[in-house]
Amino acid sequence: MNLKTITLEWTGDSLVLVDQRKLPHVVEYIECKTYQEVARAIKEMIVRGAPAIGAVAAFGFVLGAKQFSNLKEKSFVEHMKTVKEVLASTRPTAVNLFWALERIYNKMDQIDDVDQLVSVLEKEAIEIANEDIKVNKAIGMYGQTLLKDGDTVLTHCNAGALATVDYGTALGVIRAAVENGKKIRVYVDETRPYLQGSRLTAWELVQLGVETILITDNMAGWVMKQGKVNAVIVGADRIAANGDVANKIGTYSVAVLANKNGVPFYVAAPISTIDIKIKDGTQIPIEERSHEEVTHINGKRIAADGVKVYNPAFDVTEHELISAIITQKGVLRKPYSESIRKLFSLEDQM
């Protein structure tokens, strides 16, 4: 059972990932043969993006099962608990990681035979990945109805094929609009400090033939004030039950600027990104990353020695600033606490 997309390739014995740290200058791949190597790939941002992390973690779980498949049932189960814990500890904010691990771990209760279970887990991981592609295309279908021919979109960070298994969420909306014959151009924030916008989003859009204008993060407000932007579309790493959204640091600033300038601010994300167990954004854990991401670029120091650094990887945008949340089941509108509740009620009935 093999699977190959722009982001990952599952060979049956290993998981091959494009090293997103090297893009756009070098397209290089890293092969993971153990769950520990998958955990490292997630933690060190070889792969990133909430949906992609979830799918990759599922394959990491399968690799763990293959590593311990020679153990007796009881010992196997104990080792798989450790595999789950290690993978879950890699990134705290993106809820898709925990959603995918919980989903595949629940398969452990269904079958006693270890060899058969490994096969079932592999099938489930592939299903998670294939579902993600279908979900992204559905998000794109619903989201593109919010854009008109000739619109200019501003996006922050990377929510394209590289942040998912394939196709993308925020960029999936843009792709779908273009596929439906609409001419769309895009302003791309560079997204300091990791430069996902300039390195990844701009690269993806150029490959797709979409007119792309790269700007620094602090230009977004001025571009909007000049009337150059018709909509902002971003992805999400976790959405609370009230519609508050955690996304890459700088998203909150873009949302405030969009609100000030009367520009619709849309969030595109799969339902798996919505965490109904969390009441609001204040309860979302915010990952803090290495200080070197701020003080260095490509290994070269750009800041004074001895300077203190604060490097949160995400921020939270309050639901009041969000014009709509685009999911694979349709476009959610305010009040989000109600539309999200209805959405999950329908999901429970299916």
Burial of 192 (C-beta count, 10 Å sphere; 0-12/13-18/19+): middle
pLDDT score of 350: 55
- Are residue 102 and residue 187 in the same domain, yes or no? no
Q: Tokens representing 298?
A: 């490509």
Catalytic choice (132, 237, 244, 275)? 237
pLDDT digits (tens, 9 = 90+) for 241-294: 999 999 999 999 999 999 999 999 999 999 999 999 999 999 999 999 999 999
pLDDT digits (tens, 9 = 90+) for 21-31: 999 999 999 99
pLDDT digits (tens, 9 = 90+) for 123-177: 999 999 999 999 999 999 999 999 999 999 999 999 999 999 999 999 999 999 9
Query: Any bridge partners for residue 246, and if so which?
Result: 238, 316
Domain-terminating residue out of 105, 136, 167 = 136
The neighbour count for residue 287, using CB atoms within 10 Å, is 16
Residue 5 pLDDT exceeds 90: yes
Name the amino acid, one letter, at 84: K
pLDDT score of 349: 55
- Are residue 117 and residue 223 in the same domain, yes or no? no
- Are residue 269 and residue 208 in the same domain, yes or no? yes
- Please report which confidence band the pLDDT of residue 2 belongs to, taking 50, 70 and 90 as the band edges: confident
pLDDT score of 348: 66
- Are residue 151 and residue 204 in the same domain, yes or no? yes
- Are residue 121 and residue 248 in the same domain, yes or no? no
Residues 184-197 have a mean pLDDT of 97
Question: From start to end of 190-323, where are the E strands?
Answer: 211-215, 231-234, 238-240, 245-248, 265-268, 274-275, 296-297, 300-301, 314-317
> How high does pLDDT run on average in the chain?
96
- Are residue 111 and residue 144 in the same domain, yes or no? no
- Are residue 150 and residue 131 in the same domain, yes or no? no
- Are residue 239 and residue 293 in the same domain, yes or no? yes
Q: What is the CATH number of the domain that holds 334?
A: 3.40.50.10470
Residue 105 pLDDT exceeds 70: yes
Residue 110 pLDDT exceeds 80: no
Q: What is the CATH number of the domain that holds 96?
A: 1.20.120.420
Residue 95 pLDDT exceeds 80: yes
Burial of 307 (C-beta count, 10 Å sphere; 0-12/13-18/19+): exposed
Please state whether 195 falls in left (phi above 0), alpha (psi between -120 and 50) or beta: left
pLDDT score of 92: 95
- Are residue 132 and residue 144 in the same domain, yes or no? no
- Are residue 31 and residue 95 in the same domain, yes or no? yes
Residue 115 pLDDT exceeds 90: no
- Please report which confidence band the pLDDT of residue 306 belongs to, taking 50, 70 and 90 as the band edges: very high
The neighbour count for residue 165, using CB atoms within 10 Å, is 26
Domain-terminating residue out of 96, 121, 136 = 136
Range of the domain at 217: 140-349
- Are residue 129 and residue 145 in the same domain, yes or no? no
Count of the separate structural domains present in the chain: 2
Residue 58 pLDDT exceeds 90: yes
Residue 116 pLDDT exceeds 80: yes
- Are residue 132 and residue 148 in the same domain, yes or no? no
DSSP annotation of 319 reads: G
189 is an active site residue: no
- Please report which confidence band the pLDDT of residue 345 belongs to, taking 50, 70 and 90 as the band edges: confident
Q: Tokens representing 304?
A: 């004074």
Q: Which residue has the higher pLDDT, 349 or 89?
A: 89
Domain-terminating residue out of 136, 163, 195 = 136
